[in-house]
């Protein structure tokens, strides 16, 4: 009995130590920083210009802006995934602008030369700063909010707070905590996770047209999470599943053409 008792105690101690370590280090897991700063031209996107924005809590954000080609072209306000930086997504930004659309791509705090450390509250402030800049470039009714993966957890709440023309989501989730719970079922993540990005709690408030694009082979954010979020949308909406795409290849399997068709349907191109 003594051996069994001490084995049980050891197991509890080891479990507690693992949980404590994950609690302390959770932001490094959720936000694998990509701090390298690259000029747009160096990344193959010379049409864009770098702009520095100031958040209300004093952080400085690096953004890339390519102006829309004409007075009716949309401006995509783009929030990307937790493993991206501006240099890594340059080719996708170019794809988005080939039809004359503009883009404003935001580097979260701690990424691509932006100051500060990321958190859900911090990214909320980053999004608001980017939106303020976007409406100084074009009217709100020409801004298309775009969120990819973690960026969906930034773009959805932003769309619930501010006016826009439409919202496009690539590989979104109902909540980040739901994914964490699926990945770590043995940890009480709902009680321990600091940055839960509960998009499903606010998506029903959004009134603008919404497009959800998800890869059927996505193993990072399985398509079931995208479908769960989609079901909670009350605005005009469309769900497009790309059979060959995984989490990282939505642009490579026709994602941009899906966006253009969707926006054309609502007269936003």
pLDDT digits (tens, 9 = 90+) for 55-72: 999 999 999 999 999 999
Mean pLDDT confidence for 122-138: 98
pLDDT at residue 1 in the model: 54
Q: CB count, 10 Å around CB of 196?
A: 16
Q: Tell me what pLDDT residue 26 has.
A: 80
* pLDDT at 118 (0 to 100): 97
CATH no., domain 34-265: 3.40.50.1820
pLDDT higher than 70, residue 49: yes
pLDDT band at 17 (very low <50, low <70, confident <90, very high): confident
Domain ranges of the chain: 1-30, 34-265
Across residues 107-123, what is the average pLDDT? 97
Overall pTM surpassing 0.85 (yes/no):
yes
d(C-alpha 246, C-alpha 213), whole Å? 11
Interhelix angle 90-97/255-265, nearest 10 degrees: 40
* Residue 18's pLDDT band (cuts 50, 70, 90): confident
pLDDT at 173: 98
pLDDT of residue 187: 85
Average pLDDT, the chain: 94
* C-alpha to C-alpha distance for 241 and 230, rounded to whole angstroms: 12
Do residues 55 and 126 touch, judged by C-beta distance below 8 A?
Answer: yes
Q: Output the 3-class SS for 152-188.
A: HHHHHHHHHHCCCCEEEEECCCCCHHHHHHHHCCCCC
């Amino acid at each position: 009995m003594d051996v069994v008792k001490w084995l049980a105690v050891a197991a509890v101690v080891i479990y507690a130590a693992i949980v404590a370590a994950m609690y302390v280090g959770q932001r490094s897991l959720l936000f694998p920083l990509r701090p390298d700063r690259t000029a747009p031209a160096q990344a193959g996107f010379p049409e864009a210009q770098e702009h520095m924005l100031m958040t209300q809590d004093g952080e400085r954000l690096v953004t890339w802006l390519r102006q829309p080609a004409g007075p009716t072209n949309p401006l995509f306000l783009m929030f990307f995934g937790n493993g991206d930086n501006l240099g890594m997504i340059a080719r996708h930004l170019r794809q988005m602008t080939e039809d004359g659309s503009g883009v404003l791509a935001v580097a979260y705090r701690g990424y691509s030369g932006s100051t500060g450390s990321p958190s859900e509250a911090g990214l909320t402030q980053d999004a608001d700063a980017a939106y303020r800049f976007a409406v100084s470039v074009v009217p709100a009714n020409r801004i298309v909010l775009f969120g990819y993966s973690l960026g969906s957890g930034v773009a959805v709440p932003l769309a619930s707070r501010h006016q826009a023309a439409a919202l496009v989501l690539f590989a979104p989730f109902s909540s980040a905590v739901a994914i964490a719970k699926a990945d770590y079922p043995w940890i009480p993540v709902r009680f321990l996770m600091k940055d839960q990005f509960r998009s499903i709690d606010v998506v029903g408030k959004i009134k603008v047209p919404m497009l959800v694009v998800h890869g059927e082979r996505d193993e990072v954010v399985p398509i079931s999470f995208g479908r769960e979020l989609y079901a909670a949308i009350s605005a005009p909406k469309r769900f497009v599943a790309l059979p060959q795409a995984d989490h990282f290849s939505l642009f490579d399997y026709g994602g941009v053409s899906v966006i253009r068709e969707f926006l054309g349907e609502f007269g936003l191109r």
